[in-house]
Amino acid sequence: MDLELNNKTAIVTGGASNIGKAIAEGFAAEGANVVVADIDKKQAERVVKELNKMGNGDAIFFETDVTDATQVEQLAAQTLERFGQIDILVNNAGWTANDLFLNKPVSDFEREIAINLWGPINCIRAVAPSMIDRSYGKIITIGSDAGRVGEYNEAVYSACKGGVISLSKALAREFGKYNLNVNVVCPGLTLPESADDAGAESLWHEGSHQSRIFQDDAVLAKVVRRYPLRRHGVPNDIVPLVLLLASDKSSYTTGQVVSVSGGYAM
Ligand SMILES: NC(=O)c1ccc[n+]([C@@H]2O[C@H](COP(=O)([O-])OP(=O)(O)OC[C@H]3O[C@@H](n4cnc5c(N)ncnc54)[C@H](O)[C@@H]3O)[C@@H](O)[C@H]2O)c1
């Protein structure tokens, strides 16, 4: 199926590593222009170089902290200046630190809310006006099954992901009359296959889903047993649905929450 994404412009937040990197590669392979918006300059520049070797589109990097509304406004303005339009926004940047609710400092909660909830709010606020002007836009937020089931060790993160699900449903209602599609894709545990895919010096690092707790084979095996398909996801598992929702093949789909998680949440 030709998704006809060539000549489209997609912003992918957190596109420098793991799931976001795979999504950015997916768009580039389909010939779309890709704007990687990330705080990790070194890794994002490396990714963009690779993206420009794929497909026919252009890939560029804008150093953007999604928690900062001003930076996000600049991201939208510069994307419009460069490509003339924003067709697709993928709110992918996310962060969590796995631990029990009562063990975590308030600063972790604030960071989780800033990145996972304010991030998508800031990005949607920045891109929606130009999408509405053109009566065209696809907004896809990478949620999490944590937001559907309420995950152990991830209380506030789960709350944020539940928040983006409700946010997206509400905005699907508000923006439907302007022909905007707003959907959520929920991964389960999704681990990169290499440090390179993780966008890090090491596959296992704190402050990401590649938390060291999963480095322990026994822990990982126990977690994976809770997944009907008996394996954790890899970044490329998430890409096809995101591309489909970003395409006009899904033009009659909005306000939906779809898990790509081996059946973890149903
Ligand atoms: N990996 C999983 O197991 C898993 C499971 C469920 C949901 N998710 C969700 O999928 C998305 C991607 O997860 P991942 O595992 O690829 O994450 P990751 O930690 O591997 O990568 C996140 C990327 O976002 C960037 N980033 C972090 N803070 C940012 C900010 N303030 N502004 C801009 N960029 C920022 C990082 O630099 C990095 O490139 C997240 O929304 C996450 O919550 C992941």
For 95-120, what is each residue's pLDDT tens digit? 998 899 999 999 999 999 999 999 99
Name all domains of the chain by residue range, CATH numbers in brackets.
9-260 (3.40.50.720)
Decide if pLDDT at 222 tops 80.
Answer: yes
Lowest-confidence pick of 14-18, 138-142, 200-204, 219-223: 200-204
Q: For residue 126, report the distance from its CA to the centre of ligand 1, in Å.
A: 20
What is residue 208's predicted lDDT score, i.e. its pLDDT? 57
Q: Is the pLDDT of residue 214 over 80?
A: no
* Shortest-distance Cα residue to atom 38 of ligand 1: 14
The residues annotated as belonging to the active site are 157
- In this model, does residue 8 exceed pLDDT 90? yes
Burial 69-86 (b: 16+ CB within 10 A, else e): eebbbebbeebeeebebb
Structure confidence at residue 50 (pLDDT) = 96
Q: Going by DSSP bridges, is the β-strand pair 9-13/88-91 parallel, antiparallel, or unpaired?
A: parallel
Q: How far apart are CA 201 and CA 48, in angstroms?
A: 18
Q: Is the pLDDT of residue 134 over 80?
A: yes
pTM to 2 decimal places? 0.96
pLDDT beyond 90 at 24: yes
Q: Distance from the CA of 177 to the center of ligand 1, in angstroms?
A: 31
Kindly indicate the confidence band of residue 206, based on its pLDDT and cuts at 50, 70 and 90. Answer: low
Here the tokens at position 154 are 């991830």
pLDDT in tens, 60-94: 999 999 999 999 999 999 999 999 999 999 999 99
Closest CA to 29 of 8, 61, 57, 49: 57
The DSSP call for residue 102 is G
What pLDDT shows up at residue 197?
A: 65
- Which amino acid residue places its CA nearest to atom 23 of ligand 1? 14
**pLDDT, mean over the chain:** 94
- State whether the beta carbon of 163 lies less than 6 angstroms from ligand 1: no
- The three-state secondary structure class of 258 is strand
How far, in Å, from the CA of 2 to the mean position of ligand 1? 28
